Amino acid sequence: MYCTEADLRGMIKSDVLGLLISGAETGTPEENQAKIGEIILQAIEDAGAEIDGYLAKLYTVPLVRVPQVIVKYAKDIAAYNLITRIGVGKDDDREQNYYKRYQAALRFLELVAKGTVGLGLNPPTAQAAGGFRMDGPRRVFTRKNLKGM
């Protein structure tokens, strides 16, 4: 995981987080917070999987040493996952900020996947850095040995 539950709880207001379990409250605040925590952790895992999908092209995932920029974008993606779960869309002015941050995260990850932007992690996976290679037997017929035929 590239961010924590505490990171997301700090980004999203508690009344909005309460909407995650609207109608499924169990009664005790502790149980409700535990349910919210489970939903937050699922959003974090989903964000990590999405990030890994982009990074796997060049890096071994999950990242062992996580650059701060990945933590930032993981929080943005996970927050967007939570907000859309509630049913708030990109057309809502108050929540448009989450959508814009999500789109910025995707653009950054696309640039990383293309190799335009690096993460400062060395080296990329050997497979990704070298592409692929095929070996086979020596050529029997070449231009040189067929010359004049």
Per-residue pLDDT tens for 70-84? 999 999 999 999 988
Query: SS3 sequence, the chain?
Result: CCCCHHHHHHHCCHHHHHHHHCCCCCCCHHHHHHHHHHHHHHHHHHHHHHHHHHHCCCCCCCCCCCCHHHHHHHHHHHHHHHHHHHCCCCCCHHHHHHHHHHHHHHHHHHHHHHCCCCCCCCCCCHHHHHCCCCCCCCCCCCHHHHCCC
pLDDT score of 95: 73
Q: What is the pLDDT of residues 22-39, one digit of tens each?
A: 766 677 888 888 888 999
pTM score, whole prediction: 0.76
> With a cut of 70, which residues of the chain have pLDDT below it?
23-25, 88-94, 122-134
Can you tell me the distance from the alpha carbon of 104 to that of 100, in angstroms, rounded to the nearest whole number? 6
